[in-house]
């Protein structure tokens, strides 16, 4: 192989690796910090995500924010990294919703200063609408499992404020999840909510 062909081969080979690394954001040890920041912050509108603090899958702060919101994955990173933002169940939360999420993760009762809000434009990997801690268990036979597309959530300071709201997730209207538990909250479907479970969409 002459020097010109050899250099051309090296250029094409290294360029393809570089392009694949940045397009997919994956490599053998997980995702890059840049990929994580872009994936998690885009779970909210840009005017929120652009200025939010970002927590990586490792639990470390990837970027300090200025607006009081926090964007992070709700699922652990797989060995080979996330292939798509939907797999991260990325959420952007205000301070009250962060307190709610921390209580949920630690199996404690949420104590909020006020109602909390969460954006999840990439959706999540699903949960049984009446059973906390069934996250991502799509094939476990849960009767009321819903894998959500884009949505918002209202985490109430006073759980009783959601009394009387429907638990029916098949109408497209806001509905209550985890009714009768300390983790009750209001799901607010956005455009594309049923992309991952079209059989539950309004008929």
Q: Residue 189 in 3-state DSSP? A: strand
Task: Tell me the pLDDT of the chain averaged across its residues.
Answer: 88
Tens of pLDDT, residue by residue over 119-155, are 999 999 999 999 999 999 998 999 999 999 999 999 9
Q: Which residues pair with 127 in a beta bridge?
A: 146
Q: Which two tokens stand for residue 4?
A: 């010109």
Q: Is the dihedral of CA 36, 44, 55, 157 positive or negative?
A: negative
Cβ–Cβ under 8 Å, residues 90 and 96: no
| Burial degree of 169 (CB within 10 A; 0-12, 13-18, 19+) | buried
User: Which one is predicted more confidently, 2 or 171?
Assistant: 171
């Amino acid at each position: 192989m002459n020097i010109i062909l050899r250099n051309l081969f090296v250029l094409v080979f290294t360029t393809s690796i570089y392009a694949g690394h940045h397009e997919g954001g994956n490599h053998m040890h997980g995702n890059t910090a840049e990929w994580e920041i872009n994936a998690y912050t885009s779970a909210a509108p840009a005017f929120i995500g652009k200025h939010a603090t970002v927590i990586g899958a490792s639990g470390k702060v990837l970027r300090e924010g200025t607006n009081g919101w926090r964007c992070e994955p709700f699922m652990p990173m797989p060995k080979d990294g996330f292939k798509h933002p939907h797999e991260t169940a990325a959420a952007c939360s205000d301070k009250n919703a962060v307190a709610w999420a921390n209580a949920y993760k630690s199996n404690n009762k949420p104590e909020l200063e006020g109602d909390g809000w969460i954006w999840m434009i990439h959706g999540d990997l699903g949960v049984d609408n009446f059973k906390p801690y069934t996250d991502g268990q799509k094939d476990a036979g849960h009767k009321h499992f819903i894998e959500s597309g884009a949505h918002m959530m209202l985490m109430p300071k006073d759980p009783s404020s959601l009394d009387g709201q429907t638990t029916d997730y098949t109408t497209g209207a806001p509905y209550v999840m985890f009714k009768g538990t300390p983790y009750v909250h209001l799901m607010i479907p956005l455009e594309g909510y049923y992309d991952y479970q079209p059989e539950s969409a309004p008929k």
